[in-house]
Structures are given as C-alpha cells and as structure tokens.
Amino acid sequence: TVPATSLVASAEAEAVETTGTRGGVHAAQHVGSREGSLSAEHVLSHTVTLAYDDVASVDYFGTQLKGLWTQAYGSIQHAMAAAAAEAAEVTRRTAEHDISMLDSLKSKGGAKLAAVGALAYRQTLAATKLVWNSERQRPWSFLKEISTNGDMQTMDVIFPASPLLLYCAPRLLQLLLDPVLSYANNETRIAFSDPYSPHQLGTYPIGDATTAAQEPMPLENSGNMFLMMLAIVQQTAQRQDRTPTPADCEWFYPHYWSLLTGWADELMVRLPYPANQLCTDDFTGRLANNTNLGAKGIIALQAFATMCDIAGAGDTTDCAKYSAAASDYAAVWTELAYSDVGLPHYKMSYNDLPGIKESWSIKYNLLWQRILRLKKPFAYDEIASREVAFYSSKLNTYGFPMDPRHTYVKLDWFTWAGAMGTDKDFLLVVDNIFRYANETVDRNPLTDLYYTDSGRQTFGGFIARPVVGAIFAKVLLEY
C-alpha cells in the first residue's frame, strides 16, 4: 500500500489517524493535501490519487473473487500510476458523460430532477463492486444494501436501483443478476430450494446465505427478476432498430431456462390472489391480496412470456399460456381492486381492511408495463391516469404517502408513481422531492423513506442506499 505521504509526489500531503484500530468501526482515516498558496488571482489545481488494495473483494460461497482491476494491473501501485497518467482524459470523458446525463434528466424533470439525479447517480454506483470470476472467465458485480442492513444482492434493492443501471450501463445490471441466478440454480456449495427467486446472497462481502436465511417474498423476488431481465434484453438489443433477438437472451437461455420456467409456474399458482405475505415494503407488515404486489406479479408473468418469445423457447415452452394467464389475472385484478369511494381508484387490497374507510395505495409496480413497452396485461393508460389523479388528492407538504396507514413515502416509489402520470404530474413529484431534500432538518445522505407532512427522515436508516437509482425511471420511458 502506498503511504499517504507519497500519494502526490509534487505536493505535501498530511495523514492523521484518529483513535481506534485501523480496521475498527470507530477508526477514521484523514488525508489532506496541500500545495502552495491560493489567491483570488491564482487558480491552482492538482490531482490526488487514492486507492484501496483489497486482497479479495467478495467471498462467493467459498470462492474468493478479486476486484476487476486486478485483470489489468499487477499491483495497486500500477493501477494508481495508470490512473494518474489518464487523469486528464478521464476527467474530459466524465465531464462529457455528466453533461449528457444531466441534459437527459433536465429534459424529463428540469434542473431539480438533474440535481437530485446527480446525488442518486453517485449513491447508487458507490454501493456496487466489480469483480473477476476466474472460473467463468468473466466479470460479476455485487451490491451492498447499505444502512438498513449489510445484505448482499438484495433483490428488492437491486430492483429500485435498476433504472439508473438500465439507463447508463444495462450490462452492469446483468452482472448483478448473474450471481443470483447461479446460486438459485444450485451452482454453489450451499443448496437453494425455494421455488422462487432468492432474496439475497448473504452479508456483504460474504455470500453464504442458505434457503432458511431468505425472506419469503415469492411474488416480490421472482417478479423483480423477470421485470429486470426483460429490461436488460430490451436495453442491450444488438440490432440497429433495437428489436431483441434470441442472441440477446444467451446469458440466460437455455442455461437457466428450466429454473426461470419453474419461477413462472410458481407465479401462476400464487396469482391472481396474493396470499398474506411480505413485499419489499416489509416495514409496513404483511398484507393479504396486496394489489400493488399482485400487479407486479401479473406484469412479471407477461414479461416472462415476452422473454419466452424473444428467446425462441416456444419449442419446449408454451409461451402463450403465460401471456393468457397474465391477461386473465389482470382482468380479475381490475374488477376486484376497483373502488368508487371518493375519486375512482384501486384499493390497497381486494379485502376490506379494519379501520380503513378509504382503501388505496400507490401502485408503483404498474409503471413497469410502460418501462417494458408492453401493450398488456393491464389497460395501462386508463388505470394509471385514474390512480395518479387520486394520489394528487392526498398530497401533503412534501408529497403523498404510500397508503392511508402512514404519512411516510419511499422516495423511489414516489418517483415511479409520478412517472405513471403526465409530465405535469411528474414535475409535481420532482418539486416535492427537491423541496424535501433541500428543507429537511435531517442532514444525512439522501434518504429513500421520509414523512410527507414533516419532511423528517424516518426510522431504521434508509440513508445512502442505492435504491435511489429509481429516480432515472422517467428517462427510460419512450412513449
């Protein structure tokens, strides 16, 4: 490891270590760099190169995976020297990228979306780590949940983060899903036996999760996986007209097709009436016949059917069966979820809920039918416009809540709910998020769960998490 005092040869650098052991929780490393004196007339800049030399980045069920950088450089010193030599060119290229990204955000939500999106970009990618899988001779990526716990590859954290990755580098999203598919397919030393997608792989950076360690979220986990997989296929389509072909499915077909078909069959069994189970919003508790969760599963079933067609799997799989089931389930959902109490909308559950006279919830999962450019299973435009009009009637100082049980909202789901509506609806949501981030007295990294009436951060962390990549969903919409 290069000492802090030699990080910049042309500058005087100072390093101070506070109390606590070097690797301890309470230890802090402080590095300062000083060169010359500054004045209003003299603008000075210099480069400081910092690096972390991790011996192994991730333990994937007993297999040590090194950082991807080790494939290009023999030592961290060589990597740092290359970085220093490339500094000017990398700075130029990143500036071009930043301008392009911020322009895209501004085109969808103005300067306020660009400002919040810049925070989300850094926060999301900082939670990931690229490694090299020497057995498979290809890169993988791993993600840490951050703040709520240290879980690795949490399926309902990758899912909200995915719009940013789909916009910037969809292959990075695939590299996050590859290790999950491998584990679920029993290619590791620990067997996995659930008939649906895993929830997580362990506590970062150790992948050692058993089936018993998984949170039981059958619709949530498999639904997320199918939605993201189809999005990757669409965003990485190699044809000039971006029409996906079987070649775009080779990373999962045919190798994982039996596994995926089993998950789709499980969705068929569990829909259209979601049993009393957890969803990603587990802090709100279990809910039977959860309509938002049901919508996810139904759209995911259509996504699987679409992947089936694209992959050319029709010889062995009845693709149309899954599509027909999704349409049938959507019809059941639309009938049982509808309510004309107050403004027309769709309820939080098919069931009547004790103590709740006006049942509603934000159906943020519906947005994925539009992200994936699917014409079915739902009558999207009709349902979405009706829902967003209802949400607007529940607006508080910093946005509308997730449902009538609480006043808080998830920032990621809030942006998706806004993106379901018109541009005007979305700008209203952006304005509320920007105002919250600007005015809250809780000066922490960007949170994804806050109270819409007070603008206070909620319980249990929910700060600095990669889920805020959800903000980029609006940029993915093409119609």
| Structure confidence by residue, pLDDT tens digits, 313-365 | 999 999 999 999 999 999 999 999 999 999 999 999 999 999 999 999 999 99
Q: Which residue has the higher pLDDT, 39 or 98?
A: 98
Write down the mean pLDDT value for the chain.
91
Chain centroid offset of residue 351 CA: 30
Q: Is residue 10 pLDDT above 70, yes or no?
A: no
Give the pLDDT of residue 29.
61
If DSSP states are collapsed to H, E and C, what string results for the chain?
CCCHHHCCCCCEEEEEECCCCCCCCCCCEEEEEECCCCECCECCCCCCCCCCCCCCCEEECCEEEEEHHHHCCCCHHHHHHHHHHCHHHHHHHHHHHHHHHHHHHHHHHHHHHHHHHHHHHHHHHCCEEEEEECCCCEEEEEEECCCCCCEECCHHHHHHHHHHHHHHCHHHHHHHHHHHHHHHCCCCCCCCCCCCCCCCCEECCEECCCHHHCCCCHHHHHHHHHHHHHHHHHHCCCCCCCCCCHHHHCCCCCCCHHHHHHHHHHHHHHCCCCCCECCCCHHHCCECCEHHHHHHHHHHHHHHHHHHHHHCHHHCCCHHHHHHHHHHHHHHHHHHHEECCCCCEECCECCCCCCCCCCCCCCHHHHHHHHCCCCCCCCHHHHHHHHHHHHHCCCECCECCCCCCCCEEEHHHHHHHHHCCCHHHHHHHHHHHHHHHHHCCCCCCCECEEECCCCCECCCCCECCHHHHHHHHHHHCCC
Confidence of residue 239 (pLDDT cuts 50, 70, 90): confident
What mean pLDDT comes out for the span 13-34? 50
What mean pLDDT comes out for the span 408-435? 97
Q: Which residue has the higher pLDDT, 273 or 282?
A: 273
Confidence of residue 14 (pLDDT cuts 50, 70, 90): very low
Give the pLDDT of residue 278.
81
Q: Is residue 405 pLDDT above 60, yes or no?
A: yes
Confidence of residue 12 (pLDDT cuts 50, 70, 90): very low
Percent of the chain past pLDDT 70, that is, above it, reads: 91
| Structure confidence by residue, pLDDT tens digits, 156-214 | 999 999 999 999 999 999 999 999 999 999 999 999 999 999 999 999 999 999 999 99
Lowest average pLDDT, out of 138-142, 458-462, 470-474, goes to 458-462
Give the pLDDT of residue 315.
94
Q: Is residue 60 pLDDT above 70, yes or no?
A: yes
Q: Is residue 95 pLDDT above 70, yes or no?
A: yes
Give the pLDDT of residue 52.
86
Taking the model in full, what pTM does it have? 0.92
Confidence of residue 6 (pLDDT cuts 50, 70, 90): very low
Give the pLDDT of residue 419.
98
| Structure confidence by residue, pLDDT tens digits, 366-389 | 999 999 999 999 999 999 999 999
| Structure confidence by residue, pLDDT tens digits, 264-275 | 999 999 999 999
Lowest average pLDDT, out of 15-24, 51-60, 232-241, 389-398, goes to 15-24
Give the pLDDT of residue 36.
63
Q: Is residue 40 pLDDT above 90, yes or no?
A: no
Percent of the chain past pLDDT 90, that is, above it, reads: 82
Q: Is residue 24 pLDDT above 60, yes or no?
A: no
Q: Is residue 3 pLDDT above 90, yes or no?
A: no
